Amino acid sequence: MTCLKFESTWKVVVGCRHSDMTDKEKEKIVLIIANKIRSVKDDIEELQELIKPIPLDASIGRISRMDAINNKTINEASLREKRKILQRLEKALERSGDKDFGNCQKCGNEIPFGRLEYMPHVTRCVDCVG
Ligand SMILES: [Zn+2]
């Protein structure tokens, strides 16, 4: 595998010690992102169904109605969250062709593969989050 980062004399002198993602790993992440996008889109559709106004004549009791309203609030919050994640996933997919994909956008260090695998939409390493 070729190092995209240190192609200069540096590589010749000390060898490439830069541990960029392998192409295989990258492929895997891209696949994970694509799958996540699909499942997040499904979730969004489902949530959009769930937050439809509750018809007043629905044959549910008062308590159930309150439950339904509470759930609606939770569902709306999670819908917002999912939309945010979807945006970030789509951005991650666009970025997946970049040389520095998989690197922290703040410190430039490599984001551990396990972290990307679990949350492919992240753009920062654990140290730089927050
Ligand atoms: Zn960082």
| Residue at 10 is within a domain | no
| Residue at 39 is within a domain | yes
| Residue at 32 is within a domain | yes
Residue 45 phi, psi dihedral angles, 5° rounding: -60, -45
Output the domain CATH number for residue 93. 1.20.120.910
Give residue 128 CA to ligand 1 midpoint distance, Å: 4
For 83, the domain range is 23-121
pLDDT one-digit tens code per residue, 62-112: 778 788 888 889 999 999 999 999 999 999 999 888 888 889 999 999 999
pLDDT of residue 127: 93
Range 12-27 average pLDDT: 63
Q: How many residues does the chain have?
A: 130
| Residue at 68 is within a domain | yes
Please say if the pLDDT value at position 14 is more than 50. Answer: no
Give residue 123 CA to ligand 1 midpoint distance, Å: 9
For residue 58, what pLDDT band results from cuts at 50, 70 and 90?
low
| Residue at 18 is within a domain | no
Give residue 33 CA to ligand 1 midpoint distance, Å: 21
Range 48-70 average pLDDT: 80
| Residue at 126 is within a domain | no
Please say if the pLDDT value at position 11 is more than 70. Answer: no
pLDDT of residue 31: 94
Q: In angstroms, what CA-CA distances link 112 with 57, 81, 118?
A: 53, 24, 10
pLDDT of residue 18: 46
Task: Report the domain count for the chain.
Answer: 1
- Predicted TM-score of the model (pTM): 0.71
Give residue 25 CA to ligand 1 midpoint distance, Å: 20
Distance CA 48, CA 72 (A): 10
